[in-house]
A = this chain, B = another copy of it.
Amino acid sequence: MKFGGTSVADAERLTRAARRIVARAEEGKGVVVVLSARGKETDRLIADAFEISENPDPREMDMLLSTGERISCALCAMAIRDLGHEAISLSGSQAGIVTDTVHTKARIVDVKAHRIQDALDQGKIVLVAGFQGVSTAKDVTTLGRGGSDTTAVALAAAVGAEVCEIYTDVPGVFSADPRIVPGAQKLDVVSFEEVLEMAASGAGVLQLRSVEYARNHGVTIHCRSSFDDSTGTYVVPEEDTMEQPMITAVSHSTGEARITLLGVPDSPGAAGRIATTLADANINVDMIIQNEPIADGEPADMSFTIPADDVRLAKESLEPLKTELNLRGIVADEEVGKVSVIGAGMRSHPGVAAKVFTVLGENAINIEMISTSTIRISVVIPKEQVPDAVRALHTAFELDGDDTILAEQPFSEKGA
């Protein structure tokens, strides 16, 4: 069972989480719980660090930030004991989560779960501080954004858990963002591959790395609400999904920008120089499009999308290439958005792309870039048309449900 920061933000919520944990234990289950830092605790610690230093040392940042989850776990263990159950809190290190030495975004390299197993054998509920581990150099590390989900999945794999329940402030994974599409439906089952595509396309409910880890280690995730007992969304291997609707979800993102390089020479190596420059600056490039030159050997334009936060950095990094490659200019457009249609059933239904383009065309939405995977079609369109595009595609692919029920569901972005 993993609870996010909002689920333990104050004494009342933390006690509610404790009651849920105890209820599960009283079903006769062995329970391992992973908790995030409370509410705004991590933000407070980060602010403290930047008050001291403009460029805090990563090792010390990890030492600092790892305290937040320990506080949550110690307090929750107290609450569980008051409910009459034995409980023990463990730091990431005590729980045996061994990582590499890359501070602030360490990767788990091993889970030595014997201490957890011993505590379970003694009938204790085990609370583990999420988002952290101990490096092979014996330093405290943190796993980066969404790290607590990864902790939960890794522990579920290590102890052979029946299910990894991720409790959050939304009722599950939706067919679209309910804030934009009133008829968006909670999905009962979704495949790892679909959720991965959704996470990569802007749907914030489950973190990419935790889903990858779950897929690689065969962990079933149940993503559900921390506010009620209703069933959420099960994330399972594709072969375990009972049916494969052609399209499962429509996701979107408005956090990207498009950079266009004008007049890129049609010579071997030019594209490589550009990609290397961006990689060296640690900028994640999503889609790339290179126009065909008018004639062989003529320069052409090249566009790519990057996180909007990296626009300034990208422009600075690419500036030297202007003279080196004799570019005509570098243009950034932040008024773009990305809409993606995702579904494992797409593999056996070749007409999906055509339908996407037709629906958008009928709604007078101009497609600026296109990229696809075997189970996803993404388009870049003007930012202000994103909500219309999502709604139109959601309806066209018959994903709309009864909106009167869903209008009552809370929905907000999930915390780390």
Contacts and interface: CB of A to CB of B under 8 A. Distances in A.
Interface of A: 11, 14-15, 45, 48-49, 51-57, 59-61, 63-64, 66-67, 70-71, 73-75, 77-79, 81-82, 87-89, 91, 94, 115, 138, 140
Given A53-B81, A66-B70, 17 more contacts: A11-B48, A15-B52, A48-B71, A52-B79, A53-B82, A57-B78, A57-B81, A60-B74, A60-B77, A60-B87, A60-B89, A63-B70, A63-B77, A63-B89, A64-B70, A64-B71, A94-B138
The 7 closest A-B pairs by CB, nearest first: A67-B67, A64-B74, A63-B74, A53-B78, A11-B51, A60-B74, A60-B77
Contact of A52 (B11, B45, B55, B56): B11
Interface secondary structure of A, over-half rule: helix
Given A89-B63, A94-B138, A138-B94, A56 B78 contact: yes
Contacts of A49: 74-75, 78
Contacts of A78: 49, 52-53, 56-57, 60-61
B53 A74 contact: no
A45 B41 CA distance: 12
A147 B203 CA distance: 48
A115 B137 CA distance: 11
A63 B78 CA distance: 11
30 contacts: A11-B48, A11-B52, A15-B52, A48-B75, A49-B74, A49-B78, A52-B75, A52-B78, A52-B79, A52-B82, A53-B79, A53-B81, A53-B82, A55-B82, A57-B78, A57-B81, A59-B77, A60-B74, A60-B77, A60-B81, A60-B89, A61-B78, A63-B74, A63-B89, A63-B91, A64-B71, A64-B75, A91-B140, A94-B138, A115-B138
